[in-house]
Amino acid sequence: MALDGYTDPTLSRQAARAEFLDADTEVALARAWRDAGDTAALHRLVTAYLRLAISMAARFRRYGAPMGDLVQEASIGLMKAAEKFDPDRGVRFSTYAAWWIKASIQDYVMRNWSLVRTGSTSSQKSLFFNLRRVEARLIREAAGRGEALAGSALRQAVAADLGVPECDVEMMSGRLTGSDLSLNARQGEGEDAREWMDLLEDEAPQAAESTERRHDTERLRGWLVAALHGLNPRERFIVAERKLKDEPRTLDSLGHELGLSKERVRQLEAAAFAKMRRSLQGQGAEVRVLLS
């Protein structure tokens, strides 16, 4: 019996003693909850199918999750089913609830299988729970025909059997074969053994690259300062307010401060940029390389 392996005696006894509901009683309880919000009817309906929830949870123990957690997730699925069940559709509650219970447990198992998300699409979920079983069946069938099925041919056969992309089959096969490994785990014995983290490529700029970049930045800054010094005070003020501030000033606000029209400020700004451009062009191809 599925309840034999469950360690919560209170819930196990409650599920074992629960009544067996006939179809008419199910419908009456579901309608009482749906139409009148009768919580007693809801409790009776859910309690009657606790044994179904625990039984389905027990099927997923091979994935390594604690039985108590599996039962909790199964119970959540059962309550969702009771909340959404429509008694007027002519379907038994157990049939409807089984789908919600299974979905809730599967979602929990996939979330906790690995620190890395195992899968999110329907095809990946199907592969997670069926890949090994389908592979074993296909290999047995091929052996019965005197054939050997492995590698790419096996992946193609699994993809066709489950109706999923072959790339998903390859990805899930790798995820199920490996396991989580700490980057701080040592590759060998002894204090001198390297950690796996030591094999990660350092994406930070190398010393030579940082030095070159810093040198180029300083040269560009010097050229820009020299170009700014070639402007008159009013042009320099406009450029600074328009381009060197975290919140650039508008042409209108500058015109109001300088006693000029918006169009005149724009003309002065354009003239200042033209002067700076000529100053920078004097550096020749070198500045174009640094700015590229």
Q: What are 219-270's pLDDT values in tens digits?
A: 888 888 888 888 898 988 998 898 888 888 999 999 999 898 999 999 999 9
2-112 against 207-291: fold identical:
no
Q: What are 171-227's pLDDT values in tens digits?
A: 777 666 655 556 666 767 777 777 766 666 667 677 777 788 888 788 888 888 888
In angstroms, rounded to a whole number, what is the distance separating the alpha carbons of residues 110 and 122?
Answer: 12
CATH class of the domain comprising 207-291: mainly alpha
Q: Which of 14-28, 117-131, 210-224, 242-256 has the lowest mean pLDDT?
A: 117-131
Tokens of 103: 């979905």
Domain boundaries, the chain: 2-112, 122-177, 207-291
CATH class of the domain comprising 2-112: mainly alpha
Q: Is the predicted pLDDT of residue 5 greater than 50, yes or no? A: no
The residues facing 195 across adjacent strands are 186
Q: Are 109 and 63 in contact (CB under 8 A)?
A: yes
Cα distances from 187 to residues 116, 191, 194, in angstroms, run 21, 11, 6
Contacts of 185 (CB under 8 A, 6+ apart): 195, 196
Angle between helices 39-48 and 50-58 (to 10 degrees): 40
